[in-house]
Structure 1
Amino acid sequence: MEHRWQVAISAGLVAAVWAGIADIFHLVTWIGFLSCSTYFALGKLNFQGVVISWFTNLSGVFWAWLVISGSSFFETPMVGYLLTGIVTSAMCLQAKYSKLAFIPGAFIGCCTTFAMGGDIANILPALIIGSLLGYSMSELSGVLVSLTLKWKARA
């Protein structure tokens, strides 16, 4: 990675800002970082990547909510196991649609929802902002690379 310092500086700055904002507004910091990771793992470092991150992460939240809600109607854990299998298949099958094509994003949203016990109100803001964090890191890295290249050209 040729521009490692620029990436490191932008990632550090944006991460610090996010940690502060998350603390002030009582957002779950690690969820934002997972969504940010979805953005980067997707590999589309533009606003389309943000949108696909949102769609895939949020679809995972929906699928987990379906398992949690559906399981609550039955006393046997077997229903939860069955729903988990169906939902896992659905998250893979939904990848047929371009906005839902990044399967790991769906699993990140789903696992986050399970980890948070289905607390959607605390999940959604951090997931949505997290993809924007990734976009901000990417954009700031580009600015820093550009400034570095201009500075080197003058030297």
Structure 2
Amino acid sequence: MEHRWQVAISAGLLAGIWAGFSDIFQLVTWIGFLSCSTFFAQNRPDLKGMFMTMATNVSGVFWAWTVIAASSYLLSPILGYCLTGIATAAMCLQASYQKLAFIPGAFIGCCITFAMAGDVATILPPLLLGAILGYSMSLLTTQLIVLTKKSQNVMANIKIKAKES
């Protein structure tokens, strides 16, 4: 990784800010970090990637919530297992739609929802903010790379002028 320092500074700074922000506003910090990880796992480090992260994570929340809600009405746990299989297949099939093409994002949202027992009101804010966090890390890293290149050019010019003198 050519720009390891820029990535480290960006990720470290914004992760610390996210941890404090989520604590102050009583958001589940790890959910935001999983969403941020989803952003970096898909292959678009831009605004479209942020929206794909949000869409796929939220779709997973929907599928898990559906399984949890419907399972409470089913007479047999076996039917709940079948419903889980159907939801899993649906998360894979929805990837035919370009905006939901990142299957692991759906699985991450689904797993978070199962871990949080379907508490969608608690899940959605940090999930959406985590995608913004990932995008922000990407933007800050890009800016740090630009600044590094500019400072290297300035230093090279200073060295050239010093040799000429």
Note the C-alpha offset of 1:124.
Answer: 0.1
Show the 5 A alignment for 1:69-88. Answer: 69-88=69-88
Extract unaligned runs of 5+ from structure 2.
Answer: 156-165
Rg larger in 1 or in 2?
A: 2
Runs of at least 4 residues off by over 3 Å: none
User: 2:134 & 2:120 partners in 1: Cα distance?
Assistant: 21
Partner of 1:29: 29
TM-score of the aligned structures, taking structure 2 as reference length:
0.93
Note the C-alpha offset of 1:56.
Answer: 0.4
Give a deviation string over 1:7-63, Cα, whole Å, max 9, x none: 000000000000000000000000001000111100100000011011100000000
User: 1:20 & 1:2 partners in 2: Cα distance?
Assistant: 29
TM-score of the aligned structures, taking structure 1 as reference length:
0.99
Counterpart residue type for residue 58 of structure 1: V
User: 1:34 & 1:43 partners in 2: Cα distance?
Assistant: 16
User: 2:142 & 2:14 partners in 1: Cα distance?
Assistant: 14
* Percent identity over paired residues: 64
Partner of 1:109: 109
Partner of 2:121: 121
Partner of 1:53: 53
User: 1:95 & 1:137 partners in 2: Cα distance?
Assistant: 26
User: 2:3 & 2:138 partners in 1: Cα distance?
Assistant: 12
Note the C-alpha offset of 1:76.
Answer: 1.9
Give a deviation string over 1:53-78, Cα, whole Å, max 9, x none: 11100000000001000100023211
Partner of 1:41: 41
Note the C-alpha offset of 1:80.
Answer: 1.1
User: 2:75 & 2:121 partners in 1: Cα distance?
Assistant: 26
Q: Secondary structure at the match of 2:12?
A: helix
Counterpart residue type for residue 53 of structure 1: T
User: 1:97 & 1:55 partners in 2: Cα distance?
Assistant: 11
User: 1:70 & 1:30 partners in 2: Cα distance?
Assistant: 27
User: 1:96 & 1:39 partners in 2: Cα distance?
Assistant: 19
Q: Secondary structure at the match of 1:128?
A: helix
Extract unaligned runs of 5+ from structure 1.
Answer: none
User: 1:77 & 1:96 partners in 2: Cα distance?
Assistant: 30
User: 2:120 & 2:63 partners in 1: Cα distance?
Assistant: 12
